[in-house]
Amino acid sequence: MLRSKVTVFVDLWTKNRRLQEQASILHERKLAELERASEARYRQLADAMPQIVWTSNAGGGATYFNRRWFEYTGMTPEEAGPNAWLAAIHPDDLPTAVARREQTLASGEPYEVEYRFRAHDATYRWHLGRAVPMRDDAGRIEFWIGTATDIHDRKIIEDQRTLIVAAGDALARSLDYRETLSQVAELAVGEFADWCAVHVLETDGTFSEVAVAHTDPAKVTFARELQERYPPSHEQPTGVAAVIRTGRAELVAEITDEMLEPAAVDELHLQLLRRLELRSYMCVPLKARDHVLGAITFISSASGRRFGTEDLLLAEELARRATMAIENARLFRQAQERAQAARVLATIGDGVFLVDRSGRIRLWNAAAERITGITEADVLGHPAASALPGWAAAEARVPPAGPGKPTRPESIPLELASGEVWISVVAVGYEEGTVYAFRDLTEEHALESMRQDLVATVSHELRTPLAAIYGAALTLRRGDVDLEAQMRDKLLEVVVEESGRLSEIVNDLLLASQLDSGKLRVTIERCDPLEIAQLELAAARTHLPQNVELVLDAPQSLPPVAADAGQLRQVLSNLIDNAIKYSPDGGTVTVTLAASAHHIQFAVRDAGLGIPPVEQRRIFEKFYRLDPHMARGIGGTGLGLYICRELLRRVNGRIWVESEGVKGATFFVEVPQEQSSTSGAAGGGRHRAGGGPGRMALA
C-alpha cells in the first residue's frame, strides 16, 4: 500500500518534471522562433526603409546592410564587406568620418556625422550618418545599428544660403567692386561650381573679365590663356556676350561634345575646350535698372555636378546682390567725386561758375564771391547776363570749348559796385551748359597798364635830356657858326646838367632793381642828421628855382642816427627835389629836424600841389605817379618814393605823408637814434615803413 503510494507519487513527480521539461523546451523553441521572426521582421522593416541601414559588431565591422545600401551604392553583397562603407564615403570627408567612428567605438556614445556618400553612378550626395549601440542586460555593447539619411537637398539649400550670406557680406564690405566680385567668385567655387568668372561691361562697350576662380588654380591660368587666344566675340549667339547683350540668363544642364564642336573656332580650340571637361554651365546677367552691367558665369567640370533650375535661381540671386554692390560702389564713387569736386571748388583760388542752357547761374563758388564781391545768393538761379554787370557784353568773347579741348583765356572787365574788375576767363561746354573759370586780373591789369605807363614815362624822361644833349652837341659841332665863348659854356653846361639827369634816372632804375632783388648793401653807421640835412639843402640850392625858398629848421645839435649815410642823403634829396618839383607855383620848402625819445624825425614841407588822401599810400608804390601822363608837365619815373620807402625799411625807419590834397604836403621820415638802434635793432618790426606794402613787383 505504502509502496504503491510511493510509486504513484514518484510517477507523478516524474511526469510533472517531464511536463515541466517539455514546457521549458517548448518555451525556448518558441522564443527562438519568436526571435527569428522578429529579426526577419526587423530586416524586412530595415529593407523597406528609404534610408541606408546597417549593423556592425562591437568592433565596428559591418555585419549587415539593408537593401537601400545596395541600391544606392550599386555594390554586390560580395563587395559589401565589413569595411565597405570606407569605400563609399567621399575621400574629403573620410578623415572626419573615421575619426568620429573611432571616438564613438571607444566611448560607446551614439554619433552623428555628415559626409558625402558615393552613389552607383559615381556621383556623391550628402548624408547624415548616425549610429547607436545595442547593449545586453549587463550593459555591454552587443552591436551597433547605423543609418545614413540623404540630406543632400537640405545641405545644398543650406550651402546656398551660406554662400548668399557670405557673398552679401563680401559685397557690402568693400566699395571696390572688382575686388569684391573676385571674392564672390572665390566663394562660388567649391560647393556650388568648379568655375566662376565675372565679366563687366566697360564704358567703351567692350567687356572685361574682372574675376575668375577655379577649384584648381592651374586651370585659371589655362582658361586665361585660352581666352586670350580665342577672345569671346560680341556676336556670339550664346555665352557671356549674348547674356550681356540680351540680359537673359542661360542654363545648360549637360554640356555635350556636340555642343562644344560648333562653339570651337578650330580644332585646337576644340581640343583645349575638351580638356576643360565642361559638364554643366550657367550664365546670369548683372542687371541694373536700365542696363546690363556684366555677367557671372558658373561652370561645373570635375565635380560632375549638373546645374538645375534651383541653381539658376541661386545664381540669379547672387547676381542681383552683386549688381546692387556694383551700383552702390558706383553711386558711392560718384558721391565721393562730387563731394571732392565740391571741396575743390570751394577751396580753389579761381572763381568758377556754371551757367545752364537757359543762361542761368547754377553754381557760384567761394572764390567767385571773393573776387567779385557778389554773393552766391545774389546770382544763383538768376540769368548771368543780368546778375553779372558787364557779362552780357563780355560773354560772346568767351566761347565755350568742348570738354577736354584747349581753351584760350580771355581778359574782360566786369563793372562791379566796387569798381572795374578785370578777369581772365576760360569756358568749357558740357552737356548741361557751360563752366566758366576766372582769375582776378585787376592787379595784373593795373601792373600791365603801369608797365605801359612806365615805358612811356621813362622813355619820355630819357628823351628830354637826351634831346637837350643832342641839340647842344649838334650846335657845338657846327663849323659854319662861330659860337661865342659864353654860348659855348652855356651849351656845355646843358650837356653836363642833362647828362646828370640822365644818370639820375638810370641810377634810380638800377637802385630799384637792386632793392627788388635784395642785392643792395646797407651799411648802418653812426651819422649826424644835421650834417646830412645841411649837405642836402646845400646841394638842392645849387639848382633851386627862383620862386622857391628852401629853409632848414633844426636845433643846434641832435643825437646821432643809425643809418646808411649815403642812402639817408638820397632819401632827403628825393623828398626835397619832389617838394620843389611839385611846387610849380613856387613857395617855401621847409626841412624840419626834431628828436623824439628814440628817433630823429625829418619833415619836408612844401606848399605845392598836395596829395589827395586816397593816393597817399599808393604814391610809395613802384612806378606810381598821380599824373602818369604828365598833364601838368612835371616829369618823373615814379620810383623816388618807392626807393625812399625801401631804403628806410632797411634801417628800421619809416616814411609817410600828410596832406589835405589841395595845397601842400609834408613828408615825414623817422630814423632810429644811434643808441636805440643798438639796443632795439631786434625790435625792427616796430618801425615799419609807412607806405603800404609793395603790391606790385616787376620781374
DSSP assignment, residue 399? P
User: Distances from the Cα of 347 to the Cαs of 369, 388, 681, in angstroms?
Assistant: 12, 22, 40
Task: Determine the Cα–Cα distance for residues 181 and 183; give it in Å rounded to an integer.
Answer: 5
CB of 399 to ligand ADP, least distance (A): 42
CB of 514 to ligand ADP, least distance (A): 16
List 626, 663, 668, 694, residue binding ligand ADP (CB under 6 A): 626
B/e letters for 80-110, b = 16+ CB within 10 Å, e = fewer, are beeebbeebbeeebbeebeebbeebbeeeee
Residue 600: name the closest of 687, 475, 661 by CA: 687
Site for ligand ADP in 23-62 (CB under 6 A): none
CB of 651 to ligand ADP, least distance (A): 19
Diameter over CA atoms, the chain: 216
Under a CB-based contact definition with an 8 Å cutoff, are residues 353 and 382 in contact? no
Question: Quick one: how far is CA 436 from the chain centroid?
Answer: 23
Point out which span in 120-128, 219-227, 396-404, 633-641 binds ligand ADP (CB under 6 A): 633-641
Q: What mask, x for binding ligand ADP by CB under 6 A, covers residues 479 to 508?
A: ------------------------------
Site for ligand ADP in 567-606 (CB under 6 A): 574, 578-579, 582, 606
Q: Which amino acid is at 430?
A: Y
CA dihedral 603, 606, 608, 614 (to 10 degrees): 20
Cell digits for 83?
A: 569595411
List 609, 655, 671, 689, residue binding ligand ADP (CB under 6 A): 609
CB of 686 to ligand ADP, least distance (A): 25
Q: What mask, x for binding ligand ADP by CB under 6 A, covers residues 647 to 666?
A: ------------------x-
List 261, 432, 489, 627, residue binding ligand ADP (CB under 6 A): 627
Point out which span in 431-439, 440-448, 523-531, 632-640 binds ligand ADP (CB under 6 A): 632-640
Residue 642: name the closest of 690, 674, 591, 597 by CA: 690
Give the contacts of 292 (CB within 8 A, at least 6 positions apart): 201, 243, 244, 245, 247, 285, 286
Measured from the CB atom, the residue of 156 and 644 that comes closer to ligand ADP is 644
414 backbone dihedrals φ, ψ, rounded to 5°: -115, 135
Three-state DSSP string of 220-259:
HHHHHHHHHHCCCCCCCCCCHHHHHHHCCCEEECCCCHHH
Q: Which amino acid is at 409?
A: P
Binding footprint of ligand ADP, residue count (CB under 6 A): 22
Using CB positions, name the residue nearest to ligand ADP.
Answer: 636
CB of 418 to ligand ADP, least distance (A): 24
CB of 443 to ligand ADP, least distance (A): 19
- Contact call for residue 465 and ligand ADP (CB under 6 A): no
CB of 421 to ligand ADP, least distance (A): 25
Give the contacts of 462 (CB within 8 A, at least 6 positions apart): 502, 505
CB of 671 to ligand ADP, least distance (A): 19
Measured from the CB atom, the residue of 129 and 636 that comes closer to ligand ADP is 636
Measured from the CB atom, the residue of 540 and 619 that comes closer to ligand ADP is 619
- Contact call for residue 611 and ligand ADP (CB under 6 A): yes
List 133, 636, 653, 690, residue binding ligand ADP (CB under 6 A): 636
Residue ranges that bind ligand ADP, judged by CB under 6 A: 574, 578-579, 582, 606, 608-611, 619, 624-627, 636-642, 665
